[in-house]
Amino acid sequence: MSDSAARVLIVMAMEAEAEPITAALRLAETTGPSDLPCRWYRGAADHLDVLVAVNGVDARFDVDSIGTVPAALNTYAAIQAFNPDLVISAGTAGAWHRDGSVVGDVFLSGVSFVNHDRRIELRGFDAYGVGSHPGIQTRDLADRLGFKVGIVTTSNSLDETPHDAERIEASGAAVKEMEAAGVAYVAEQAGVPMMAIKAITDLVDDPAPTPQQFIDNLSVATELLAEAVVAVLLELDEETFTST
Ligand code: SAH
């Protein structure tokens, strides 16, 4: 890895999702922010300098700090410290039978990141609530690696209310999770290109409850996620970063 190696920041919510990636890339733990529970791991992956920034375990609740607020804080701190050329939100997510998705599918993000739970019916604020933060073009990358492409939609809830369902249908999103729009908001403010890699743990329109599907499929999905993250890193080039 040279001094001029491109820097890629990978923001992740759960230790269990990150572990196979930090192990596969043999990243070493490095100092993160002292006032947040984040855990950061850094090292070389082929031609890249990679920082995996995990939101960390909440000190009071003793669970992973999932959701948009910890993700945004972690992303902000990591962008300040690491000055990345690309930000990736990586993790697990839900998808839908109606789109032909199955557990274990890997999605790369579409050209925007949206929120489905920020309903603000005031002129101007409605679009602000949705967000539509920009993502890079991932279609070529996805085609080369055999992944799907879909718009990622974010909220701070694991379930899907009827209101959420309406908004998700309107945005055409195919992937539902709890962090990407928070990460994309910070990347947009900082002017850093952004994408996501999401492995599907559960199908929102399946009769089985989402939490049960999530628990049953987490380990298989995180293995597939790790393989996908490594494959994307090896395939990344300067052109991908700048293709908006
Ligand atoms: N820690 C809990 C549950 C994690 S919540 C446990 O282990 O039981 C779900 C996490 O996975 C979030 O970080 C979210 O981004 C992602 N996720 C997976 N499926 C999801 C879905 N259907 N809706 C929202 N988030 C989902």
Could you tell me the pLDDT band of residue 146, with boundaries at 50, 70 and 90?
A: very high
Candidate of 63, 92, 153 to mutate for ligand 1, largest count of ligand atoms within 8 Å of Cβ: 92
Tell the residue nearest (CA) to atom 7 of ligand 1: 215
pLDDT at 205 over 60: yes
Please work out whether the CB of residue 89 comes within 6 Å of at least one atom of ligand 1: no
Over residues 228-243, the pLDDT tens digits come to 999 999 999 877 776 6
Residue 171 is predicted with a pLDDT of 97
Please work out whether the CB of residue 164 comes within 6 Å of at least one atom of ligand 1: no
d(CA 134, CA 111): 6
pLDDT at 162 over 90: yes
Between 78 and 4, where is the model more confident? 78
Candidate of 11, 12, 14, 152 to mutate for ligand 1, largest count of ligand atoms within 8 Å of Cβ: 14
Please work out whether the CB of residue 214 comes within 6 Å of at least one atom of ligand 1: yes
Please work out whether the CB of residue 91 comes within 6 Å of at least one atom of ligand 1: yes
Tell the residue nearest (CA) to atom 8 of ligand 1: 215
Q: Is-catalytic flag, 238?
A: no
Please work out whether the CB of residue 186 comes within 6 Å of at least one atom of ligand 1: no
pLDDT at 138 over 90: yes
The proportion of the chain whose per-residue pLDDT surpasses 90, expressed as a percent, equals: 94
**Cα 215 to ligand 1 centroid, rounded to whole Å:** 9
Over residues 166-203, the pLDDT tens digits come to 999 999 999 999 999 999 999 999 999 999 999 999 99
Catalytic residue among 49, 164, 177, 202: 202
Q: Is-catalytic flag, 140?
A: no
Could you tell me which of 150, 32, 48 has the C-alpha nearest to residue 94? 150
Candidate of 88, 164, 214 to mutate for ligand 1, largest count of ligand atoms within 8 Å of Cβ: 214
Secondary structure, 3-state, the chain: CCCCCEEEEEEECCHHHHHHHHHHCCCEEECCCCCCCCEEEEEEECCEEEEEEECCECCCCCCECCCHHHHHHHHHHHHHHHCCCEEEEEEEEEECHHHCCCCCCEEEEEEEEEECCCCCCCCCHHHHHHCCEECCCCHHHHHHHCCEEEEEEECCCCCCCHHHHHHHHHHCCCEEECCHHHHHHHHHHHCCCEEEEEEEEEECCCCCCHHHHHHHHHHHHHHHHHHHHHHHHHHCCHHHHHCC
